[in-house]
Structure 1
Amino acid sequence: MRIYRVVNASELAAAYAAADYGVTLDGDTVRLRVGEPATDLEAYWPASRYVFVTAWNPASEPHSDTINESADALLVSQLDADGVARLRAWAQGPDGHWHEPGWLLADVDDHAADHLAREFGQAGVLCWTRGEPVRLRMLIQRPDPASPSASESPYTDWPGETVPETQCAG
């Protein structure tokens, strides 16, 4: 497992929560947003739990396409070995300047999702239970748990914090 130190975890979480996420199904792009239900996706691709994970740019530091593609291939190999159902997905900054391919996984438990994300150097994943809003689960500690950032989404969960029972539990 890789361990990374992030300078400002609250700002990183706010950026992840503000990002656009999507998956292409039968030629149509289905958008995912933190804090919103994914009704169209869930109707098309039924599962009880969903996770978005990427192997690109560990520790939120840019890497070359060659390095990122190699990491992605390792992630795919692991998903294949574990028999995980997946769809190609992506994440993108609201301004469109940052784009990362990733995978939308079906019916992966929180422990396995966290393990995958940490193994590939990721600071967080999207996860949600069917019928519930998409949530961002950070895998790194909030710098100051007593004072969340004003820009933080109420749909962001941090290690050690209580999460509603119907949501992602770490």
Structure 2
Amino acid sequence: MADDVADDVADGMADDVDGLRRAYLDAVVEIDLDGRRLELTGAPRGTTRGRFPAGVGHVHVVTACNPRSEVLPAERNRMRNQALAAELAAAGLRSVPAVGRSPDGTWQEPSFAVLDADTPLLLDVADRHGQHAVYRWTPDELAVVWAGRQRGRVDAQGWVLRVIGGDERAR
């Protein structure tokens, strides 16, 4: 499994393949939806704690920031995400602001949560924007779906949702 990811992150893009996989699985995903901030974290497989958004089948989270984990200046990342937002809108996809971050907040990437789009389409988007993977959140799992040479490989886990602000009934 790690060797497959190594092929995709060769050329010094990630010195620690297992660390990259772990970083994706351990990340916190924040989604701004319907006036609420949803904080989503991974959990043991089979765990789903919280209420999945009503009227939504699944959510993908994608960014254009820091392609292949190469840290870019904030302004460049902002411009890359503007281009991504325009691409999502032109494709008629419904997206809302999101952030992918490390649990301690030292790594943050402004992102977009795309509602009810097909995984292959989002993997195409991720590939065009130099991303290792996208997140796919369903009522049953939070998964890292790898792009690039590992396209479609899935590392799935359970999820825990915490609602920050907004409607208390959604907690």
Q: Which TM-score band (shorter chain)?
A: 0.7 to 0.9
Matched, 1:80 2:89: yes
State the Cα distance separating 1:52 from its structure 2 match: 0.4
SS of residue in 2 equivalent to 1:95: coil
Aligned to 2:129: 120
Shift, 1:42, TM fit:
1.6
Greater shift, 16-25 or 54-63, is seen at 16-25
Q: Quickly say closer, same or farther: Cα 1:126–1:160, change in 2 above 3 A.
A: closer
Moved over 6 A (4+): none
Equivalent residues in 2 for 1:1-150, closer than 5 Å = 5=10, 6-7=13-14, 8-35=16-43, 37=48, 39-43=50-54, 46-129=55-138, 131-140=139-148
AA partner of residue 42 (structure 1): P
TM-score (norm 1): 0.73
Instruction: Give SS of 1:63's match.
Output: coil
Shift of residue 107 of structure 1? 1.3
Distance apart, 1:26 and its partner CA: 4.9
Provide the identity percentage.
26
* Secondary structure class of the residue paired with 2:135: strand
C-alpha distance in 2 between matches for 1:127 and 1:162: 9
More strand per residue? 2
User: Structure 1 regions of 5+ residues with no counterpart?
Assistant: 142-157, 165-170
Q: Deviations over 1:24-70 (max 9, x none)?
A: 33553211123454743523xx2222100011100111101111011
Alpha-carbon distance, 1:104 to partner: 0.3
Distance 1:27 1:114, change over 3 A: same
Rounded Cα–Cα distance in structure 2 between residues aligned with 1:16 and 1:162: 12
Partner of 1:56, secondary structure, is coil
User: Is the Cα contact below 8 Å between 2:96 and 2:114 reproduced in 1?
Assistant: yes
The number of residues matched between the two structures is 143
What TM-score results when the alignment is normalised by the length of structure 2? 0.73
CA distance in 2, matches of 1:110, 1:26: 23
Change (3 A) 1:4 1:74: farther
- Structure 1 residue 160 displacement after superposition: 6.6
